[in-house]
């Protein structure tokens, strides 16, 4: 009998290609993993509401959302680490004064502190999850697990210097993720593994982006996508083909899970 393993997959650039489509070979590979009795989980910077359909299509009920700040194992929340409301207020005020909008994210929705902005449209549209609605005070009465700050890379440094309580991870030329300091997919995975009790030698992870570096470094059986950033490929134990070249299927074969 095959020993049960757990495999964590990033979404954008890993499960989904640049058109945000799920390759048929990836879907077949995921279903084969599940038929073999393995646990398939997601580890993403996205919020749960952004990939509900994908989870349903793949039959996944364990996931690391918001880069490790909101962790669900077998349908139950096991870890939640929201941003500080007082620090988020200061960040929002400073960003607004600089002409930089922010978007607040919780497990169900995303809300912007401005009615509209070209940076929001340009970057969030690439996720194909719709655009946020306007509610500048949404963070006051709701736990926010990640915020999107919209500014150019050169303008980001002032926020990094001014807000040591937060980590900033760029995912688009005009947008960066804002997380609690020290937050990462790796930390979220640790919380999930406390519940799952799967030994380290049977834990796998696939990723491609800057927000995957800690995860790929921590997990012994880590696989980076050929289409990923160089930093991700340097951190991973293996590098598979690109997502649109059946990279997930080939990577799972490479590590012996298929």
Catalytic residues: 10
CB count within 10 Å of CB 238 equals 16
Q: Token pair of 247, please?
A: 């990279």
Half-sphere exposure of 99 (CA within 13 A, CB side): 5
Instruction: Find out whether 188 and 71 touch, Cβ atoms under 8 Å.
Output: yes
Residue 20 backbone class (left: φ over 0; alpha: ψ -120 to 50; beta: rest): left
Burial class (CB in 10 A: 0-12, 13-18, 19+), 77: exposed
Q: How far is Cα 143 from Cα 125, in angstroms, rounded to an integer?
A: 24
Q: How far is CA 168 from CA 12, 123, 149, 246, in A?
A: 18, 16, 9, 31
């Amino acid at each position: 009998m095959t020993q049960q393993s757990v495999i964590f997959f990033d979404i954008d650039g890993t499960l989904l290609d640049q058109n945000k489509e799920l390759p048929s070979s990836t879907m077949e590979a995921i279903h084969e993993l599940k038929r073999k009795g393995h646990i398939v989980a997601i580890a993403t910077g996205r919020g749960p509401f952004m990939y509900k359909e994908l989870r349903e299509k793949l039959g996944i009920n364990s996931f690391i959302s918001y880069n490790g700040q909101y962790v669900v194992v077998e349908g139950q929340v096991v870890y939640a680490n929201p941003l500080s409301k007082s620090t988020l207020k200061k960040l929002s005020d400073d960003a607004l004064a600089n002409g930089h909008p922010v978007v607040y994210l919780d497990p169900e929705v995303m809300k912007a502190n401005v009615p509209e902005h070209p940076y929001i449209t340009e970057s969030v549209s690439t996720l194909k999850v719709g655009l946020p609605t306007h509610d500048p005070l949404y963070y006051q009465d709701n736990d926010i697990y990640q915020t999107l700050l919209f500014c150019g890379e050169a303008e980001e440094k002032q926020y990094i210097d001014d807000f040591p309580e937060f980590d900033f991870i760029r995912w688009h030329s005009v947008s960066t993720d804002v997380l609690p300091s020290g937050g990462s997919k790796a930390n979220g995975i640790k919380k999930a593994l406390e519940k799952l009790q799967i030994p380290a030698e049977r834990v796998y992870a696939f990723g491609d982006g800057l927000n995957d570096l800690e995860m790929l470094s921590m997990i012994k059986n880590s696989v980076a996508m050929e289409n990923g950033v160089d930093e991700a490929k340097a951190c991973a134990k293996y590098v598979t083909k690109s997502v649109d070249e059946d990279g997930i299927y080939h990577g799972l074969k490479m590590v012996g899970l298929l």
